[in-house]
């Protein structure tokens, strides 16, 4: 496979939207470019005493809103092109879901599986230190989050290092999101990207016309689904899709894939992998030694949730899914996307579909700045009001509401209820915004991705114009 330049792929897709936009070329050029990139190398002392030099990057794609926001990944293929592309996707993603941030992304070129916990802690703390030195991190500057190969643990090391290095910053906890709850995290953030993928897929399946066009019935119920990657995003997406009525027929990890057309229980597969060390050998399922083959399995919905450039011109002809739900960033190359569109498939674009993570990161950031848990001030008040309303209804009708029903109806919302509800609202609204744009250009067979770019670019261009930077 020829080397695919990821940032070029993003910009190829950007350019497809340009013909439909009224903005002057200067403003479009400003939006398209990546504003700043920081490349740093630093030494890591391995546990055995050997010293290794690591490469790390942070890209801030757009400063039209501050702070900038985007994950930090640990993977061997991290490079400048990749972080710039991912930072650009973050800019568009934030605009689509109305999260008031610019886009950023960072990464360390490292295979996390080959390093001990202590080594990873040293890497994370050193990288954070380097970011502080160059003002590439801060609650109002640039706010990282988890991504491929990182999670709440790494975010905890980041916030602790930031706290240690900065003086009297009352908002220090807002310097990073995706933290553990006791470190200022918000309930629901870990599951947020996967849950958002589920909300997006479910919403797309609700439009009977769109489903008919690809030969499917309305609704998620009973649809056959293949998921690539059982990490944070893939696992949660698979779990919530299964709970929402989808049938998980295929699951892929880096060591191989499994297939059972009758469906598999996601939790049982995860348990099996934990116990045996491999996804392969799951009872009742067929093993596929070549993991990539999972993408070609017969199914209605394919959810690539691992890495970029998974569906390319090399395998696009063999993809059977009618709906490709881009849970990962950039899993379909621009040319392969065109080929799928021609075949009549629906692609739910990454910059919309996996925006649940940044949406809930935004909620976490707001929580950190307000220094109060969501629902703390209102939960009991709402509960009391609900009870009073129910009592009034009981008195007026002479009928009693049963104890358990009373508890369910009157319950005031917890933090997680509010977070999940805000996420659901965002994913549904944003899908409808994009779909409406696509409907305007239905005759031209506009892909949802182009509609998503139009939606994002319009919002960013308006923001630049409001700033008075462009006439
Ligand atoms: P993760 O590290 O938790 O999980 C990735 C999983 O993919 C791992 O289990 C890994 O073993 C597996 N994998 C690697 N190579 C594979 C292969 N060739 N075939 C099958 N599986 C393979 O990472 P994540 O946070 O779930 O991120 C996955 C994707 O989602 C990335 O593209 C990331 O940028 C994107 N994303 C993540 C978030 C987030 O909140 N974590 C938000 C938006 C987008």
One domain for residues 285 and 427: yes
Backbone φ and ψ of 292, nearest 5°:
-60, -25
Are residues 202 and 177 part of one domain?
Answer: no
Tell which one of 229, 258, 308 to mutate to probe ligand 1, the residue whose CB is within 8 A of the most ligand atoms. Answer: 229
Do 127 and 69 belong together in one domain? yes
Domain end: 156, 183, 210, which one? 183
Q: No. of H helices and E strands in the chain? A: 16, 12
**Which of 232, 355, 419 has most ligand 1 atoms within 8 Å of CB, for mutation?**
232
**Predicted local distance difference test score (pLDDT) of residue 238:** 98
Does 131 share its domain with 148?
Answer: yes
Q: Whose CA is nearest to atom 35 of ligand 1?
A: 328
Q: For ligand 1, atom 12, name the residue with the nearest CA.
A: 229
Q: Which residues are catalytic, by number?
A: 105
Which domain-ending residue is among 132, 159, 183? 183
CATH of the domain at 149: 3.40.50.10860
229 CA distance to ligand 1 centroid (A)?
A: 6
Residues 107 and 168 in one domain: yes
| Residue environment code for 66-101, b if the CB has 16+ CB neighbours within 10 A, otherwise e | bbbbbbbbbbeebbbbbbbbbbbbbbbbbbbbebeb
- Residue 465 within a domain: no
Domain CATH code at residue 211: 3.40.50.720
Q: Which of 183, 218, 252 is the last residue of a domain?
A: 183
Verify that 268 and 170 share a domain, yes or no.
Answer: no
Packing angle, helices 232-243 and 266-276, rounded to 10: 140
Q: Residue 404: exposed, middle, or buried by beta-carbon count in 10 A (0-12, 13-18, 19+)? A: exposed
What is the position in ligand 1's atom list of the atom closest to the CA of 145?
A: 40
CA angle 233, 237, 242 (to 5 degrees): 155
Asked if residue 315 belongs to a domain, the reply is: yes
Please state, in angstroms and rounded to a whole number, the distance separating the CA atoms of residues 235 and 191. 9
pLDDT in single tens digits along all 471 residues of the chain? 557 799 999 999 999 999 999 999 899 999 999 999 999 999 999 999 999 999 999 999 999 999 999 999 999 999 999 999 999 999 999 999 999 999 999 999 999 999 999 999 999 999 999 999 999 999 999 999 999 999 999 999 999 999 999 988 999 999 999 999 999 999 999 999 999 999 999 999 999 999 999 999 999 999 999 999 999 999 999 999 999 999 999 999 999 999 999 999 999 999 999 999 999 999 999 999 999 999 999 999 999 999 999 999 999 999 999 999 999 999 999 999 999 999 999 999 999 999 999 999 999 999 999 999 999 999 999 999 999 999 999 999 999 988 888 888 999 999 999 999 999 999 999 999 999 999 999 888 899 999 999 999 999 999 988 887 766
What is the model's pLDDT at position 99? 98
Using CA atoms, how far residue 458 sits from 22, 62, 70, 355, 437, in Å, is 9, 14, 21, 18, 11
Residue located nearest, by CA, to atom 17 of ligand 1: 254
In-domain check, residue 460: no
pLDDT of res. 145: 97
Q: Indicate if 140 and 197 belong to the same structural domain.
A: no
Do 145 and 249 fall within a single domain? no
DSSP single-letter state for residue 138: B
In a domain, 160, yes or no: yes
Q: Same domain for 95 and 219?
A: no
Judgement on whether residues 60 and 178 belong to the same structural domain of the protein? yes
Q: Name the β-bridge partners of 60.
A: 36, 104
The residue contributing the CA closest to ligand 1 atom 23 is 148
Output the CA 328–ligand 1 centroid distance in Å: 6
Please check whether residue 396 lies inside any domain of the structure: no
Q: What's the chain's Rg over C-alpha atoms?
A: 23
* pLDDT of amino acid 402: 87
Cα 313 to Cα 136, 179, 235, 333, distances in angstroms? 37, 38, 27, 8
Specify if 408 maps to a domain: no
Ligand 1 centroid–CA 242 distance in Å is 19
- CA of 231 from ligand 1 middle (Å) equals 5
> CA-to-CA distance for 37 and 84, rounded, in angstroms?
8
Ligand 1 centre distance from Cα of residue 228 (Å): 9
3 within a domain of the structure (yes/no): no
What's the gap in Å between 190 CA and the centre of ligand 1?
A: 13
| Residue having the nearest C-alpha atom to atom 18 of ligand 1 | 254
Query: Would residue 338 count as lying in a domain?
Result: yes
Q: Measured between alpha carbons, how far is 127 from 129 in angstroms, rounded to an integer?
A: 5
> Which residues constitute the domain of residue 445?
187-378+413-450
DSSP per residue, 416-445: HHHHHHHHHHHHHHHHHHHHHHHHHTGGGT
Determine which residue's CA is closest to atom 41 belonging to ligand 1: 147
User: 120, 176, 127: which is closest to 149 by C-alpha?
Assistant: 120
CA distance 173 to 182: 11
Ligand 1 site, CB within 6 A:
71, 146-149, 193, 228-234, 252-254, 291, 305-307, 327-329, 354, 357
> Under DSSP, is residue 183 helix (H, G, I), strand (E, B) or coil?
helix
Domain shared by 228 and 118, yes or no: no
Q: How many domains does the chain have?
A: 2
Query: What angle, rounded to 10 degrees, do the helices at 379-397 and 403-410 form?
Result: 130
- Candidates 115, 231, 278: which one to mutate for ligand 1, based on the most atoms within 8 Å of Cβ? 231
Rounded to whole angstroms, the Cα distance separating 244 from 199 reads 9
323 lies in the same domain as 252: yes
């Amino acid at each position: 496979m020829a080397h695919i330049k990821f940032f070029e792929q993003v910009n190829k897709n950007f350019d497809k939207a340009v013909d439909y936009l009224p903005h002057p070329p200067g403003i479009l050029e400003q939006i398209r470019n990546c504003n700043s990139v920081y490349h740093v190398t630093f030494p890591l002392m391995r546990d055995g005493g050997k010293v290794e030099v690591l490469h790390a990057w942070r890209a801030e794609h757009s400063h039209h809103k501050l702070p900038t926001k985007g994950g930090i990944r640990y993977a061997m293929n991290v490079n400048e092109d990749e972080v710039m592309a991912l930072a650009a996707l973050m800019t568009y993603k934030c605009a689509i879901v109305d999260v008031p941030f610019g886009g950023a992304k960072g990464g360390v070129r490292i295979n996390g599986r080959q390093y001990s916990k202590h080594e990873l802690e040293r890497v994370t703390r050193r990288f954070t230190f380097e970011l502080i030195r160059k003002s590439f991190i801060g609650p109002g500057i640039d706010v990282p989050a988890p991504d491929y190969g990182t999670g709440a643990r790494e975010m905890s090391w980041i916030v602790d290092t930031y706290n240690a290095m900065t003086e009297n910053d009352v908002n220090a906890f807002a310097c990073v999101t995706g933290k553990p709850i006791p470190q200022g995290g918000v309930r629901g953030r870990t599951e947020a990207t996967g849950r958002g993928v589920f909300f997006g897929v479910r919403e797309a399946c609700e439009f009977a016309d769109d489903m008919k066009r690809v030969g499917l019935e309305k609704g998620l119920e009973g649809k056959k689904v293949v998921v690539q990657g059982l990490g944070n995003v893939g696992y949660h997406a698979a779990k919530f899709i299964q709970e929402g009525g989808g049938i998980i027929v295929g699951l892929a990890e880096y060591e191989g894939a499994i297939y059972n057309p009758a469906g598999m229980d996601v939790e049982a597969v995860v348990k099996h992998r934990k116990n045996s060390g491999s996804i392969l050998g799951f009872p009742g399922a067929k093993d596929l030694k070549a993991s990539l083959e999972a993408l070609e399995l017969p199914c209605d919905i394919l959810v690539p949730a691992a890495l970029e450039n998974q569906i390319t011109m090399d395998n696009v002809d063999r993809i059977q899914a009618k709906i490709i739900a881009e849970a990962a960033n950039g899993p379909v190359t621009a040319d392969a996307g065109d080929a799928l569109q021609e075949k009549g498939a629906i692609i739910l674009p990454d910059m919309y579909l996996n925006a649940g993570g940044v949406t809930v990161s935004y909620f976490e950031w707001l929580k950190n700045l307000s220094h109060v848990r969501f629902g703390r001030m209102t939960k009991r008040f709402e509960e009391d009001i609900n009870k009073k309303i129910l009592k009034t209804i009981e008195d007026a009708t002479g009928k009693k509401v049963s104890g358990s029903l009373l508890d369910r109806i009157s319950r005031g919302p917890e933090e997680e209820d509010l977070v999940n509800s805000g996420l659901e609202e965002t994913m549904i609204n944003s899908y409808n915004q994009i779909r409406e744009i696509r409907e305007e250009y239905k005759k031209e067979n506009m892909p949802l991705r182009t509609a998503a770019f139009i939606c994002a670019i319009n919002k960013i261009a308006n923001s630049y114009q409001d700033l008075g930077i462009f006439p």
